Structure 1
């Protein structure tokens, strides 16, 4: 079991056919593409996977599929957020069986923002998960948006918690707060929020980012520039990505899937989750954004 991880870990979307059925072939294409772009690992299922639109059995089946498709070519973090301790344990165990190196679990809303009760939840989960844990601190309404003090208390609740994914804004300030007095068992903090604040997060000591999956090669290039100390290139790549990051903040899964569809990786941009739809103007805007991105770093062609 590998403890330390870092770098670019895109959250994989769940790919559906036009009738809403799961498209495992499309998901396999996305996994292979991300790995070929040089990502350090992948995450599944998370918020960007429409995990709450999947049944428990669908999630477990897809976790097994993702693990078999990754096949050791990168690290795999399983998303084990659920509606109960038992459900999260089942998902974490499925991830352990599929080769995952850690389980990312959002602070459960059904428990509430009580650090003692949350600590008891993660400690109990650690007893049955079979994996080290990552606490996902997502903002309200998706998560609880814990304060820095409460989050630290939760991380201190069990040595099984090794990482935090900090998405409660302002994310950068909260990363600095955690790393100013890190729990002994904490190996590092990841940024999330679609990668929209990645430069600030990395500057403050984040060990990686978990963005969406539409342009993995640009995130990989940005991380390489960061690791080499080329802060100017980090900034250039980030500024080039800003238009698509802002569009993704509005359209979420639909932006990711429409981009992947245009890249020839998937046949349909269908989403089960509700949200804004593209109109003709949005399609035109995405075209302009992708053309300009190609001028910065050519998008890799699908295999």
Structure 2
């Protein structure tokens, strides 16, 4: 069993949960997804995140999905989102997926947290609830969760909760936060932690420049994210930026609140990674106009990246 460590790097795609049109889980597409992630060089994968429609799943479904990804992952770390309103549900899911071989879990803050002490206290209690031996990802996504974590708060969590192994950085604007956190490491006031970034990859090129270790997001071309991280890490930064820039219009479009998941699933269906673009209800389907706009974006992207020739 591969455990998540603070040295994690590369790309951990956030996997969507595939559904049939009638809302049943599409297990065949789960295998297709993980096989694709492995083939394109992903260094890990995260399941049951925001993109995974986790709140729409029953507990038994969540466990089954996680187990299937873990069994198929061929040794790369699988992180499972276990965020829940209470610690009992969080603990139950964590125990089952860790027993199945998960590398760690991801925990988002509840939107009721307001003060710095409340945020730090929550993560201390969460770590105690799931077990101090379980590595966890701290998800910092204020645009969705309405919880603002200053760099000093992240530092407190990292230093006071030893099982915190990774920051999923999704603050926006957040480049200065990455610089500040790496500065804490240099001056010795914070231990090293892995920083992988979300937000659809929208700022990945500059996030890497600021010291991020890679991407942890659900953009519909995770293979491009892998290429960008590899190119950047090997010193071929101009090539990385050129490839990234070609994808920016689609990344931007995909980041729209509400419709973003529908766009991602639609493109992944066109790429043959999902049998259906269906979301489990309640869902926000794409309009015909939106579909036409996405098709146009793909045609334009295909001029620069042949993977978009769908």
TM-score scaled by structure 1?
Answer: 0.90
Hey, what's the Cα distance between the residues in 2 that align with 1:152 and 1:167?
Answer: 16
Q: Per-residue displacement from partner, 1:53-104 (whole Å, max 9, x unpaired)? A: 22233222211121112131x2211212111122222232233223222221
Query: Number of aligned pairs?
Result: 300
Partner of 1:118: 119
Hey, what's the Cα distance between the residues in 1 that align with 2:297 and 2:124?
Answer: 45
Hey, what's the Cα distance between the residues in 2 that align with 1:48 and 1:2?
Answer: 21
Partner of 1:7: 10
1:237-256 alignment runs, 5 A limit? 237-250=243-256, 251-256=259-264
Contact 2:136 2:163 in 1 (8 A): yes
Contact 1:161 1:186 in 2 (8 A): no
Contact 1:254 1:271 in 2 (8 A): yes
Contact 2:155 2:190 in 1 (8 A): no
Q: Per-residue displacement from partner, 1:112-144 (whole Å, max 9, x unpaired)? A: 133334333323333434421211011144351
1:201 is displaced (CA, Å) by: 0.9
Instruction: Tell me how large the CA RMSD over aligned residues is.
Output: 2.2
Contact 1:12 1:49 in 2 (8 A): yes
**Residue 200 of structure 1 pairs with residue 206 of structure 2:** yes
Contact 1:115 1:154 in 2 (8 A): no
Hey, what's the Cα distance between the residues in 2 that align with 1:265 and 1:254?
Answer: 14
Partner of 2:151: 148
Hey, what's the Cα distance between the residues in 1 that align with 2:252 and 2:293?
Answer: 12
- For residue 98 of structure 2, the aligned residue among 82, 93, 96 is 96
1:265 is displaced (CA, Å) by: 2.4
Can you give the 5+ residue segments of structure 2 that lack an aligned partner in the other structure? none
Residues 197/96 of structure 1: CA separation in 2 closer, same or farther (3 Å cut): same
1:273 is displaced (CA, Å) by: 5.6
**Residue 232 of structure 1 pairs with residue 232 of structure 2:** no
Hey, what's the Cα distance between the residues in 1 that align with 2:48 and 2:55?
Answer: 9
**Residue 131 of structure 1 pairs with residue 134 of structure 2:** yes
Partner of 1:75: 77
TM-score scaled by structure 2?
Answer: 0.89
Partner of 1:288: 296
1:266 is displaced (CA, Å) by: 2.0
- Runs of 4+ residues over 6 Å off in structure 1: none
**Residue 60 of structure 1 pairs with residue 63 of structure 2:** yes
Residues 290/95 of structure 1: CA separation in 2 closer, same or farther (3 Å cut): same
Contact 2:299 2:309 in 1 (8 A): no
Contact 1:191 1:210 in 2 (8 A): yes
Contact 2:46 2:79 in 1 (8 A): yes
- For residue 174 of structure 2, the aligned residue among 171, 175, 185 is 171
The alignment partner of 2:60 has SS state of: helix
**Residue 223 of structure 1 pairs with residue 223 of structure 2:** no
1:283 is displaced (CA, Å) by: 2.1
Hey, what's the Cα distance between the residues in 2 that align with 1:140 and 1:273?
Answer: 23
Hey, what's the Cα distance between the residues in 2 that align with 1:145 and 1:274?
Answer: 28
The alignment partner of 1:43 has SS state of: strand
Partner of 1:86: 88
Can you give the 5+ residue segments of structure 1 that lack an aligned partner in the other structure? none
- For residue 215 of structure 2, the aligned residue among 196, 209, 217 is 209
Hey, what's the Cα distance between the residues in 2 that align with 1:94 and 1:301?
Answer: 41
**Residue 189 of structure 1 pairs with residue 190 of structure 2:** no
Hey, what's the Cα distance between the residues in 2 that align with 1:49 and 1:231?
Answer: 31
1:187 is displaced (CA, Å) by: 2.0
